[in-house]
Amino acid sequence: MRIVDIRERSVAISRYADPAIPSGGLTTSIVAAVTDVVRDGRPVVGYGFGSIGRFAQGGLIRERFAPRLLAAADGALADTAGTNLDPLRAWAAMMAGEKPGGHGERCVAVGTLDMALWDAAAKIAGLPLHRFLADRLGRPVPERVPLYAGGGYPYPADDLARLRDEMRQLADLGYRRAKIKIGAAGLAQDLRRIEAAAAALGGAGNLAVDAMNAYNGPAALEAAAALAPLGLWWFEDVCDPHDFPTQTAVTAAYPGPVAAGEALFSAAEARLLARHGGLRPDRDILLFDPVHCYGLPGYLRIIDAMTAAGWPRQAFWPHGGHLFTLHVVAALGLGGAEVNPLCFPPFGGIGDGAIVTDGFASLPQLPGIGFESRAGLHRLFRELG
């Protein structure tokens, strides 16, 4: 039971459904992990990518982490029965010799490969990932998962009109709640964006706003004061992720839910947030991205750290916006999943033809993550060879 080949490529991704709109040169890594297990005459291949919002990690994948998987002795990455890959053992092999701290974005490289390993293991088992993972952890699986739609990036022209159209399209697709970006164009424009989006979604209670860590202390408090009366679903990524004093000041002044954690990548950082970020487990939201947090093994450690600090699993709404996080939410009993149906093609969104009803989606049933249900994404992965 071995990984016999790992293929990697960096690809450009866009924040917009229309790739002609400039999007800041964002990239991600895609990988294919080829196993020595054969099904229907073909080797089982696991696919993964670096989630959304960081940059490609090709150097770290090729030079540091993939070689450790490929060098593992026959059976070293297998489960105790020797009949499947064990992604937790594979994770330990990738992290061998790594020092604590200094997280940088090595966590994204590890998480990219980890996604492919879970895809391969679930395929070998003949199970969708949510079922494979839930069975391993002894957890029940729901029939459907609550979702919200991510998007709402500022448009370079006709911003308000295009934002209204985007929110209406999301509502027509079955999403009850959505998230838009603020913090880049001044508070007055942010308030106009919020008004436009909330009207399309049936009220501010269905709208979350993401400041993308844009505010410093005084600006964060000014924004919190302006947003507090609106009754937003949540106020996300207010300030620098390590600026715990500002985070604490905002949660003290802002009565509604605050969301944080997207740009924190380890259990140690999660514990710092719990101790020093002023967040309130009875209402606030945790956004850690399973891929960016060293993959599922790292994410499980974060869940353990936060639940030990009094946080309910329903507070976790992982960042990502794609099929992998949908499986994770279902298997771990978390609050709900972000989906990016109109941005970051072909990675955002769930399966082609999948139906969202009143903000909920049924779970994919293909073995593995189910990237094969996304024609454009599956084609991109198959181009790896």
Q: Over its length of 385 residues, how does the chain's per-residue pLDDT go in tens digits?
A: 899 999 999 999 999 988 889 888 999 999 999 999 999 999 999 999 999 999 999 999 999 999 999 999 999 999 999 999 999 999 999 999 999 887 788 999 999 999 999 999 999 999 999 999 999 999 999 999 999 999 999 999 999 999 999 999 999 999 999 999 999 989 999 999 999 999 999 999 999 999 999 999 999 999 999 999 999 999 999 999 999 999 999 999 999 999 999 999 999 999 999 999 999 999 999 999 999 999 999 999 999 999 999 999 999 999 999 999 999 999 999 999 999 999 999 999 999 999 999 999 999 999 999 999 999 999 999 999 7
Claim to verify: residue 99 and residue 185 sit in the same structural domain: no
From 126, 160, 189, the end of a domain falls on: 126
CATH number at residue 69: 3.30.390.10
pLDDT at position 23, please? 87
pLDDT at position 133, please? 98
| Domain ranges, residue 144 | 137-382
Claim to verify: residue 350 and residue 305 sit in the same structural domain: yes
pLDDT at position 104, please? 80
What does the block give as tokens for 354? 């999948």
pTM of the entire predicted model: 0.96
Whether 334 contacts 97, CB under 8 Å: no
pLDDT at position 246, please? 97
In a domain, 117, yes or no: yes
Determine the Cα angle at 87 with ends 84 and 92, to 5°. 130
In a domain, 12, yes or no: yes
Q: Where in the sequence numbering do the catalytic residues fall?
A: 181, 319
CATH number at residue 172: 3.20.20.120
Claim to verify: residue 220 and residue 357 sit in the same structural domain: yes
- CA 128/CA 324 separation, integer angstroms: 11
Claim to verify: residue 311 and residue 196 sit in the same structural domain: yes
- The count of structural domains within the chain is 2
Claim to verify: residue 150 and residue 115 sit in the same structural domain: no
Claim to verify: residue 221 and residue 368 sit in the same structural domain: yes
pLDDT at position 157, please? 94
- CA 337/CA 213 separation, integer angstroms: 21
Where would I find the H helices in 66-180? 66-71, 87-94, 106-125, 129-137, 159-172
Claim to verify: residue 193 and residue 323 sit in the same structural domain: yes
Residue 339: is it exposed, middle or buried by C-beta count within 10 angstroms (0-12/13-18/19+)?
A: buried
**Whose CA is closest to 194, among 164, 169, 218?**
164
pLDDT at position 207, please? 98
Secondary element (H or E) of residue 11? strand 3-12
Claim to verify: residue 374 and residue 300 sit in the same structural domain: yes
From 126, 150, 181, the end of a domain falls on: 126
* Widest distance between CA atoms in the chain: 62
Claim to verify: residue 274 and residue 158 sit in the same structural domain: yes
Residue found by looking up tokens 């996304």 in the block: 374
Residue found by looking up tokens 């309130």 in the block: 280
* Complete edge-to-edge strand list for the sheet that includes strand 3-12: 3-12, 27-39, 42-49
Ordered DSSP codes for 298-310 = HHHHHHHHHHHTT
pLDDT at position 19, please? 81
Claim to verify: residue 146 and residue 85 sit in the same structural domain: no
- CA 161/CA 326 separation, integer angstroms: 30
pLDDT at position 73, please? 95
pLDDT at position 28, please? 97
